[in-house]
Structure 1
Amino acid sequence: MKERITVKTSPSAAGPGNRISSVRRATVFGVSAAVLIAPFIIAVPAALAAVPTFPDNIIVFPDRDFITIEGYQDRIGQIATVEVTRPGVGVIGSAESVVSAGDIAFEINHPGGACWGAGTTLKVTPDIRPGDLVSMKFGATAAGDTTTQDVYVNATPVLAADGVTVTITGFIGDGANENQIEQRIVEPAFRNTAVARREVRAVPGPLTANVGYSSSLEYGIAGSNTFTATYVFDSQDAANIAAAAGTGVRVMSWQLEDAAANRQGLTIAEFGELGGPGMGGCPNGPLQSGPAGATDVIAATVADSLKITWTPAKAIPGTPAITGYRVHAVAQTVVNGERAEFGKRIDSAAAKTTTISGLNPAETYDVFLVSVSSAGETFPAVHAIPVTDIVAPLTTASPQSGSFRTAQQLTLSSNEAAAEIYYTTDGSDVFLSGGTLSTVAVLYTQPLNIDATTTVNFAAVDPSGNISTQGQVMLTITNEPLPSTPTFSSPAIAGTGSMTLNWAAANPGAPELTVTGYSVQAYTSDGLVSGPARTTAGDVTTLVFDGLAPDTTYQFTVTASNANGAGAESAKSDPVQALGALVANAGADQAITRAVTATTVVLDGSRSTSTETTYLWEQVLTGLTDPDRVTLTGPTTVNPTFSLPLFATPMTNNPLTFLLTVTSGSAVRTDEVRITPIASQITVTGARWKTRDFRVDGISSSVGGTVTIHRDGPTGPVIGRAPITAAAAPQTGGVFTYRLRTSISNPGSVWIDSTLGGVVGPVAVTAG
């Protein structure tokens, strides 16, 4: 069954009697990234920021290595690039396609869509697996990504003896959300039964009635990573259709469900479907593809031999490793329908040259080179026609001869990629008379570190034996001490069109030397130098860098100098925005200790612009039901307050974030501040039960407050409460004891929370 399904319905929408189209479209009040409801803001969780927002979506069919891109109608006619990235491996598949009008922008590896490798150099159909990241971009602009979910059906449907019950088992990985799973059986024949539609569905929860059937989806014991979907049909005919559905059996998992129940970042795992090319003409999968070929292949004639050189091949990510090469020379002359062939097998993936000897100097040969892996050989082979080269290569060196205060990296290069460069450092020639290589000459493989005065002679020889003119560089290294590299001692302080910078004093380099000054350079957010550097005289370690563009972000470096010159440039400072005429400053982040009674917290916007401005403070929340929501008093003043409540599950000790918006006319500036509650640390030292005696003992890092003991989870029924009292000397902190001497069943495990913010659980209760 090769049909495609797009899904936009929530599990709650598939209740009894509902008939929902497989494609659901909705408008979320015109808001895509965040819903503003004063006096707080609902923020999209950072971990899901890259998942496309409805109506855009990325849907992954891992069993068929197939991708559907929905929406992106503001990009019609533009070229999008889709990449599949495997953690620890890199990009294992890519393709380009043009966004078209309609619900489906384009598809990859599905009839009517693009092949993997279309418009890119990675000509392979990736074997998409759980954890692979599927991302899309337009040019260099990211347009969303989806992580392939680890879910699948692991067996064909099972028809029970009653003739109407069908069960399907499957797997759900630890990273998948159990509330965002749906199992389906897709079979058009259902339309001719009481079901009257092409599919049936099971969502998490107990058996629920639907049209023509009831269904449930339940998870196995914790840690088993299993699920079971159960269908009870109204007729045996429908049950038989379900049991024989084959590849119509699938499970879906999505990363995000928005307020309108749109499923974003969707994975649809289809039981029994095969991966690889989804249509004719597309490239093979990674295990069916021969290895990539070597590049820069040159075959040079040397007497009765051919010297072949190449740049080693790089395996396509996700394909078997390259283990070596096979190279052979085929004579062009045909004798009795045959041509002579000579070759070599090289068992090294890093090899880059070989010589085939014993050839006929009067014959012309074609040379073919293939890479070798467990998947086979390169097809077609890389073809090279031998050439007789009489031109010597040219060699260069960088830097040129000169005097330097510090060690230098000497780079040697040749205009012929296949040429080998040799060098000496004792002043002797590289090649002796007659073209013989000196016994002290060294093959150049990487830049040379020259940390003392040295004369380097160098020359290159190409595959045909042509030797370059010998070059020479004389590098004088004075090793005159320079100052150490300074480091910024504190973040830059933003002013109006300026920045105050402070750094730690540099070591002058030697006892007899002093730092003669510092040079500070500004950089814009794109890494470009911004204007001339500013300097200080002597060992002055602070500078007001003015003349900056207002409301623009900058980074800075600092360099120290002494009598010998300038030292190394420091790392760039953290980015800081220069202030403009209008400033929003929500104050410094704070840490607030929870108290036994509610704590009043004062927010401070006094460093913001105060003339002809208005203020609005809002709490940034995760949703309408965020348990950490507080009420701001005076949200339009400079110093609003709120009461940090006593701790009670499901409240957390997460930081509370507040957004200050300052407005003057049409100009608006914003800033955020974080208030972090500091929780008491509580530990249970004993939890014991026996008939008519239940006891919990523990310690607390703080004195005061009350602990609450729950059963059946952190928000479960309350067993009881106990005060936190001061511990007996010499111990510090607090202790608590709760004891119940009535008939109570063993709760098995308990959860404890403190009004001072501490939480612990589950704690196993010992019997006896």
Structure 2
Amino acid sequence: MGLLSAATLGVGSVVLTGGAAQAAPLPTLPNNMVIFPDRDFMTVEGFEGLTDATARVQVLRGTGETVVGQTDAPVNYPEAGVAFEINHPGGACWGEGAPAGLKVTPDIQGGDVLRLVIDGVTYDSPVAPISVESESASGATVTVISNVPADIPLERVEGRIIQPDFKDTAVGRRDARATVDGTGDTGYTSSLTRISDTQVQAEYTFEDAATAQTALAGTARVMSWVTTQGEERAGITIAEHEEVGGPGMGGCPAGPGDAAQPAPGNATFQRSADRTQMQVRWTPADDVAGGTAVSGYQIIATDPQGNLRGRNEAATATSTTLTGLDPAQNYAIQVRAAQGEALSAAFLAGESTGTPPGGGGTPGDTVQPTLGEAQFDPATNQLTLSATDDAGTPQIYYTVDGSPANDIDMPALNAELYTAPITLTGTAPVTVNYAAFDAAGNVTTGSYTGTPGEVAPPAPLAAPAELIATSVSGAVRLDWQAVPEATDYEVSVLNADGSAARPASLTSGARTATVTGLTGATSYTFSVKGVAAGRTGTAATVDGSPGVFVSSPVVTRAQWRSGDFRIEGTSDVTTGQVRLYRANAGGQLLNAGGTVVTAVAQAQQFGNGTAVTAAVAPETGGEFTLRLRNNAAGTANPGYLVAIATDGGRSAPFQVSGR
């Protein structure tokens, strides 16, 4: 899949003004990304067959693609056609699985880019810099003014008013729409015009002023999209009037303006042998994405009587030395990150009581720590260090550049705290110097020189057994047996000439995959191999072809009364037509006399069919409505009906209710 060209995307869509570049392609419909920046809400549509997978979404800002939001979202298919949602009830929160500075609900803005990594493939969708400015009513006309820059053509803009109460008016559906080439719909007329280089105007004229007031009580929207694929829109941004951003449900993190100050990470300290000085180290605090940057650090030592010794350090600092300490006292060490005048919650270095590791040691303790023998494992090129002391476990600091690990009785500034085996790299000999410090400041030094060797590659994983390809509607389902030690499986699709039909993808441990986006009646070769850390397995292959796709219409409402017959439904496609026929409870077609017939042409049809149109976001897929009045409604409740799409898809039987 190549990058979309500027011609494909339309002027101003590859790089939004002042925004991040769209470096990866949009998904291919029916896969799609729909962004609601005013609510910091996102819907990812399509991507069928990825149950139990996890997708990563990032919000990128500026030409440097700064990540200001991130989450790992389970692909849980909350409703038909939707893979997952973010910051919406039933969906994932922003910040899940993200590092500390990104545990925040991002303030999504025009010019940002939403990056989606799913099934091993990366997609980008830019956020259009659009917003609803105002809405007003005069008589039967509602006027909505929206901010839309001139480089977004009106052909890629649509105005909508969302109002469920429209269903009880002449409009007969839950929204009214305005497009540059449209004239409205049942119960209203509409227009969309540009009134300046920065604004557009949508006008909706209803049959009466009461309906206009009903519209004014709804939600005005303006939407734009990056491109069209066929008749469908891809890369959609929907701006909503007077919607509020921030966490969309309980338990989600606050926005950047309300997030807590960032605290520094792990902190350690080491006292000098005379216990009058203390070296304190910390890992830098992560800035809250979109929030105020860390401006410095405050380090405070408090003795049991509440006396304080402290220092302020710059934002770039990761260590300081406190002097003038009382050798006879223990101290609690706190490190805080500062954002201007605001301070973070404290990070306690060492034990919360302030007692140095090992119980504190008393002045006069001269017993040095004992170093264990350095253990080098040539199979992994890892060096393990250890040390013991009579007053507790000492801290070990080390260097790998040949320089000393200690500066007399304190760790050298370039020395690292030992927390895990050290991996030696390269092919030349490496000298590791290390020093163990106890709580009293006694130090013992050691050194190890070793030459990293070539680590033998692990044996490849076995090929998956019993790989089976099954044709399903518009796709191919793959199933296989588990491979010992495999944590994931890589699925590849090849054309007849051996070229890749789509990028390879990972199944995140699942032993099944449904491959979509294939050309019907075409044979493909499917390859599956196990994957583990640092290991790739032998591939198993099988040939298969996607089944013929048919849509799945669903009747959601059917009400009849004398002179008025209303039918509504949904579909997993957004084009075509649906025709409604009389049926029995088992779904068999009936003619006007109630007799079972086998041919569709012989069944009693209601109306002349109705078009399937795109549902109003955040709903996905398509919807259809048919309303028959007077003689066309018939003289009796038909009982049951079924919907049959033009592609042959058929709904389950639905009982018609009276009203």
**TM-score (normalised: structure 2):** 0.51
Q: Does 1:158 align with 2:136?
A: yes
Q: SS at the partner of 1:288? A: coil
| Ranges in structure 1 where 5+ consecutive residues have no aligned partner | 1-31, 35-42, 334-338, 397-412, 447-455, 474-581, 585-665, 667-768
1:491 alignment partner in structure 2:
none
Q: 1:249 aligns with which of 213, 220, 233?
A: 220
1 CA distance for matches of 2:271 and 2:334?
15
The 1:436/1:286 distance shift into structure 2, 3 A limit, reads: closer
1 CA distance for matches of 2:174 and 2:432?
79
2 CA distance for matches of 1:51 and 1:422?
45
2 CA distance for matches of 1:417 and 1:219?
69
2:279 alignment partner in structure 1:
307
Q: Does 1:270 align with 2:270?
A: no
Amino acid aligned to 1:368: Q
Q: Does 1:296 align with 2:266?
A: yes
2 CA distance for matches of 1:583 and 1:72?
24
Q: SS at the partner of 1:242? A: helix
Q: 2:127 aligns with which of 123, 142, 148?
A: 148
Q: Deviation at 1:445?
A: 9.0
Q: Deviation at 1:76?
A: 1.8
2:118 alignment partner in structure 1:
138
1 CA distance for matches of 2:400 and 2:413?
4
Q: Deviation at 1:109?
A: 0.9
1:72 alignment partner in structure 2:
47
1:342 alignment partner in structure 2:
308
Q: SS at the partner of 2:73? A: strand
Q: 1:179 aligns with which of 139, 148, 155?
A: 155
1:212 alignment partner in structure 2:
187
Q: 2:91 aligns with which of 89, 113, 130?
A: 113
Q: SS at the partner of 1:75? A: coil
The 1:365/1:91 distance shift into structure 2, 3 A limit, reads: same
Q: Deviation at 1:463?
A: 9.6
1:188 alignment partner in structure 2:
164
The 1:362/1:75 distance shift into structure 2, 3 A limit, reads: same
Amino acid aligned to 1:344: G
1:123 alignment partner in structure 2:
103
**TM-score (normalised: structure 1):** 0.45
The 1:345/1:115 distance shift into structure 2, 3 A limit, reads: farther
2:622 alignment partner in structure 1:
none
Amino acid aligned to 2:192: L
2:81 alignment partner in structure 1:
103
2 CA distance for matches of 1:90 and 1:417?
37
2:294 alignment partner in structure 1:
322
The 1:241/1:375 distance shift into structure 2, 3 A limit, reads: farther
1 CA distance for matches of 2:132 and 2:57?
27
2 CA distance for matches of 1:238 and 1:431?
80
Amino acid aligned to 1:138: I
2 CA distance for matches of 1:108 and 1:159?
34
Q: 1:201 aligns with which of 171, 174, 177?
A: 177
Q: Does 1:367 align with 2:333?
A: yes
2 CA distance for matches of 1:431 and 1:61?
55
**What does 1:217-232 correspond to in 2, within 5 Å?**
217-221=192-196, 224-232=197-205
The 1:376/1:275 distance shift into structure 2, 3 A limit, reads: farther
1:286 alignment partner in structure 2:
256
Q: 1:86 aligns with which of 46, 61, 69?
A: 61
Q: SS at the partner of 1:74? A: coil
Q: Deviation at 1:321?
A: 1.1
Q: Deviation at 1:436?
A: 8.7
**What does 1:595-744 correspond to in 2, within 5 Å?**
none
The 1:189/1:373 distance shift into structure 2, 3 A limit, reads: same
Question: Is this contact kept in 2: 1:307–1:463, CA < 8 A?
Answer: no
CA deviations on 1:491-529 (whole Å, 9 max, x unpaired) are: xxxxxxxxxxxxxxxxxxxxxxxxxxxxxxxxxxxxxxx
2:573 alignment partner in structure 1:
none
CA deviations on 1:239-266 (whole Å, 9 max, x unpaired) are: 2233343xx111111112221x222111
The 1:51/1:319 distance shift into structure 2, 3 A limit, reads: same
Q: Deviation at 1:229?
A: 1.1
Q: SS at the partner of 2:214? A: helix
Question: Is this contact kept in 1: 2:114–2:125, CA < 8 A?
Answer: yes
The 1:192/1:467 distance shift into structure 2, 3 A limit, reads: same
| Ranges in structure 2 where 5+ consecutive residues have no aligned partner | 15-21, 362-367, 375-383, 387-393, 417-430, 450-496, 500-542, 544-659
Q: 2:209 aligns with which of 233, 236, 240?
A: 236
Q: Deviation at 1:158?
A: 2.0
The 1:124/1:436 distance shift into structure 2, 3 A limit, reads: closer
Q: Deviation at 1:291?
A: 3.9
Amino acid aligned to 2:187: G
Q: Deviation at 1:33?
A: 10
Question: Is this contact kept in 2: 1:290–1:375, CA < 8 A?
Answer: no
Amino acid aligned to 1:257: T
2 CA distance for matches of 1:346 and 1:370?
10
Return the index of the structure with the highest Cα Rg: 1
The 1:187/1:96 distance shift into structure 2, 3 A limit, reads: same
Q: Deviation at 1:375?
A: 8.6
Q: Deviation at 1:153?
A: 0.9
Q: SS at the partner of 1:73? A: coil
2 CA distance for matches of 1:175 and 1:377?
43
Question: Is this contact kept in 2: 1:109–1:116, CA < 8 A?
Answer: yes
Q: 1:378 aligns with which of 339, 344, 352?
A: 344
2:506 alignment partner in structure 1:
none
Q: Deviation at 1:45?
A: 7.2
Amino acid aligned to 1:354: T
Question: Is this contact kept in 2: 1:414–1:460, CA < 8 A?
Answer: no
Structure with higher RCO (Cα < 8 A, 6+ apart): 2
1 CA distance for matches of 2:402 and 2:51?
61
Question: Is this contact kept in 1: 2:55–2:75, CA < 8 A?
Answer: yes
1 CA distance for matches of 2:309 and 2:327?
16
Question: Is this contact kept in 2: 1:79–1:99, CA < 8 A?
Answer: yes
Amino acid aligned to 1:190: F
Q: Deviation at 1:56?
A: 1.5
Name the % identity: 32
How many aligned residue pairs are there? 403
Q: SS at the partner of 1:292? A: coil
Q: Does 1:168 align with 2:144?
A: yes
Question: Is this contact kept in 2: 1:66–1:108, CA < 8 A?
Answer: yes
The 1:193/1:305 distance shift into structure 2, 3 A limit, reads: same
The 1:423/1:463 distance shift into structure 2, 3 A limit, reads: farther
Q: SS at the partner of 1:55? A: coil
Q: SS at the partner of 1:157? A: strand
